[in-house]
């Protein structure tokens, strides 16, 4: 007998391997309605999504992704795009991380966070589209949901759950007070990721770090 492929040895299904080796809907949309980036290059899992909505039907005309990460990261992003393509906005919102994992025939527990990250990316790109179209207001709930796509590269959890976001204030700008020291390498990484997570929206961000 030949050697068992490493993907099989760590518990990946045939469908995970298929979507990893032949991912669907990869690359960029040249003129997207909106983009969203979740994850962090520094912690090894990152997804950037490109979305195009049909203005007449409010359905997902096209969705593509770029991914940096493991096999599960690529496979969950690939199958997520298949699940939402052609769906209405409301239908796309209802896709859960469990749906993504189940569509792949399951994931090892240690890789379930990849399905969660794909769902977080989907939530972010749909929310940003709704804000751009005036369908959703920019409030604290919206900001916190976008920030859940920004990961602490040290802990690998989102910066809201990690306690890095100390407080939010929304006036004519969004002021985000953070618990990390200004000028540190971590602060530079987090600032870049936060600003990119809101990219494409007409929002004035004020990030306040500890002195």
Catalytic residue ranges: 43, 114
Range 66-97 burial, b when 16+ CB lie within 10 A, else e: ebebebbbbbbbbbbbebbbebebeebeebeb
Number of other CB atoms surrounding residue 10 within 10 Å = 13
DSSP character at residue 2: P
Token pair for residue 115? 């399905």
The residue length of the chain stands at 211
Taking the C-alpha atoms of residue 184 and residue 197, their distance in angstroms, rounded to an integer, is: 20
Token pair for residue 177? 């007070």
């Amino acid at each position: 007998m030949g050697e068992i492929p490493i993907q099989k040895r760590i518990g990946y299904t045939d469908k995970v391997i298929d979507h990893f080796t032949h991912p669907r809907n990869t690359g960029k949309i040249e003129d997207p309605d909106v983009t969203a980036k979740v994850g962090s290059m520094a912690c090894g899992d990152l997804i950037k999504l490109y979305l195009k909505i049909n203005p007449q039907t409010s359905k997902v005309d096209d969705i593509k992704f770029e991914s940096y990460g493991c096999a599960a990261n690529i496979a969950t992003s690939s199958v997520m795009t298949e699940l939402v393509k052609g769906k209405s906005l409301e239908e796309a919102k209802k896709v859960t991380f469990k749906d993504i994992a189940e569509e792949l025939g399951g994931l090892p527990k240690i890789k379930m966070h990849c399905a969660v990250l794909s769902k977080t990316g989907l939530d972010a790109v749909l929310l940003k589209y709704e804000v751009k179209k005036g369908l959703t207001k920019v409030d604290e709930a919206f900001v916190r949901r976008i920030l859940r796509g920004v990961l602490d590269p040290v802990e690998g959890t989102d910066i809201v759950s990690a306690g890095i976001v100390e407080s939010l204030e929304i006036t004519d700008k969004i002021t985000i007070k953070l618990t990390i020291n200004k000028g540190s390498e971590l602060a530079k990484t987090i600032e870049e990721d936060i600003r990119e997570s809101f990219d494409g929206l007409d929002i004035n961000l004020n990030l306040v770090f500890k002195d």
